[in-house]
């Protein structure tokens, strides 16, 4: 009788984590990535889960200092002791991102926030976000210096000259400023690719000059004070400019598309614009863009002034305009911009909209005529969006038909 073959034993069951503890089976690096999305307070609390978790929070790649429970921002006073201990105990690992959001910050607490900001820069942070919800926060007026900082998001800050000196940030590519008081007359960065300025204020008499030659996208929305002067942005792809409701650069006697100008009844703003200057404040800087949105309140002077020395938009493919461009008696602003966009493919007019949506959309296209054309022969889409077709809209449609747009 042949000897009985020895039965192969079943493979050993791994002593892995039980089915109910799948999170515990994850590697430390992944766990640290997950808890980095938590507010700093909750991230620290994970140390009580198990012995393995005791030190994970100390070397996360992100810090979110956003309030006691991660809901509403707290004041700097509420978080000062916690943050001081947090930064003292954590390991000096590099940081991908740091987010700090506070409800308020008193003058005596400014050095703490400035110190925490410098700590983030020392840890080679790539993305830094700083927000103060109520009242302006004026950080120490020292220049930022980091070879690693790529993204900077500022909300509610009072920004002075040294803080906006980005010569020490050669890798900075993305800058957002919201609800900030910009107390400088010049801002420059050769590395910046994306710039957004929303709801900001400048109380200086001189215009803020922006020099960002490498910019790819630009947004200027509701700027209070003198509109910034844009220097050449040769690489620009997209730009959105909304001049908003600020009383600077506004004709106080504006009526039916006509500015009062420099006469006996002229307003101070009109007189100051009649200075013989040939420089465009806005249009010259963004003339290389491929996609543009140009929105203005009716009484604004800037675009009308710039059109007197309007550059050619030699690369512009799509253009969105609002009723500002269609209110002058002969619609001269619209005619001018159409003649300066030789390769335009799509024109959108958002006229007299109340709210973010429209009820009526009229579509047309350009039909080339014999002989030289005054507008782009590539214009194949024309959209007119409005709430109702009234006399103002019919006037615009009649104007477009004169350019053989039907």
DSSP 132-194: E-SS-B---S-----SS--EEEEESBEE-TTTTBGGG-TT--EEEEES-EE--SEEE-SS--E
Residue recorded with tokens 């030659």:
213
Is the torsion defined by CA of 403, 338, 340, 301 positive or negative? positive
Predicted local confidence at residue 230, as pLDDT: 95
Q: Which residues of 139-162 are buried (b: 16+ CB within 10 A; e: fewer)?
A: beeeebebebbbbbbbbbbbbbee
Q: How far apart are CA 181 and CA 138, in angstroms?
A: 9
pTM (2 decimals)? Answer: 0.85
DSSP conformation class of 227: P
Q: Low-confidence residues of the chain, pLDDT below 70?
A: 1-21, 24, 68-72, 247, 256, 261-266, 268, 271-278, 369-373
- How many C-beta atoms lie closer than 10 Å to residue 266's C-beta? 17
Longest CA–CA span in the chain (Å) reads 127
Helix segments in 14-75, DSSP class H: 28-35, 40-45
Element (H, E) at 229: strand 229-230
- Residue 186 φ/ψ, nearest 5 degrees: -155, 140
**Both ends of the chain: CA-CA distance in Å?**
100
How far apart are the C-alpha atoms of 392 and 323, rounded to whole Å?
9
Backbone angles phi, psi at 84, to 5 degrees: -60, -45
Cα 297 to its chain centre, rounded Å, is 20
Which has the closest alpha carbon to 250: 265, 272, 228? 272
**CB proximity list for 325: less than 8 A, separation 6 or greater:** 294, 296, 303, 331, 333, 334, 337, 349
Compute φ and ψ for 243, nearest 5 degrees: -75, -10
For residues 189 and 233, the answer to whether their CB atoms sit within 8 Å is: no
């Amino acid at each position: 009788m042949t000897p009985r073959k020895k039965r192969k034993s079943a493979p050993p069951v791994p002593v892995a984590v039980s089915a109910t503890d799948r999170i515990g089976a994850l590697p430390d690096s992944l766990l640290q990535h997950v808890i980095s999305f938590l507010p700093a307070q909750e991230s620290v609390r994970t140390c009580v889960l198990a012995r393995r978790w005791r030190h994970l929070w100390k070397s996360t790649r992100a810090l979110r200092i956003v309030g006691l429970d991660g809901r509403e921002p707290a004041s700097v006073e509420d978080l000062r002791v916690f943050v001081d201990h947090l930064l003292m105990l954590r390991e000096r690992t590099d940081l991908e991102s740091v987010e700090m959001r506070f409800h308020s910050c008193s003058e005596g607490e400014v050095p703490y926030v400035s110190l925490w900001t410098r700590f983030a820069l020392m840890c080679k942070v790539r993305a830094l976000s700083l927000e103060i919800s109520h009242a302006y926060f004026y950080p120490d007026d020292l220049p930022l210096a980091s070879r690693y900082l790529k993204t900077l998001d500022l909300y509610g800050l009072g920004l002075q000259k040294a803080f906006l000196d980005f010569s020490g940030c050669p890798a900075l590519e993305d800058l957002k400023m919201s609800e900030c008081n910009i107390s400088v007359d010049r801002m420059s960065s050769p590395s910046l690719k994306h710039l957004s300025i929303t709801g900001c204020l400048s109380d200086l008499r001189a215009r803020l000059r922006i020099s960002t030659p490498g910019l790819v996208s630009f947004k200027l929305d509701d700027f209070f004070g003198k509109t910034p002067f844009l220097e050449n942005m040769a690489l620009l792809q997209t730009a959105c400019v909304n001049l908003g409701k600020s009383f600077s650069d506004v004709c106080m006697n504006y009526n039916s598309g006509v500015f009062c100008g420099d006469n006996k009844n002229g307003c101070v703003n009109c007189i100051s614009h009649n200075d013989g200057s040939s420089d465009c404040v806005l249009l010259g800087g963004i003339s290389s863009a491929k996609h543009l949105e140009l929105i203005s309140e009716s009484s604004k002077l800037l675009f009308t002034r710039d059109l007197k020395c309007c550059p050619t938009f030699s690369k512009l493919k799509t253009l969105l305009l609002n009723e500002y461009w269609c209110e002058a008696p002969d619609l001269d602003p619209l005619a001018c911009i159409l003649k300066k966009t030789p390769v335009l493919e799509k024109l959108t007019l958002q006229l007299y909209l109340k709210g973010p949506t429209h009820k009526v959309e009229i579509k047309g296209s350009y039909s080339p005529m014999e002989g030289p054309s005054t507008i782009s022969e590539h214009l194949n889409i024309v959209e007119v969006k409005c709430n109702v077709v009234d006399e103002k809209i019919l006037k615009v449609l009649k104007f477009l038909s004169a350019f053989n747009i039907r």
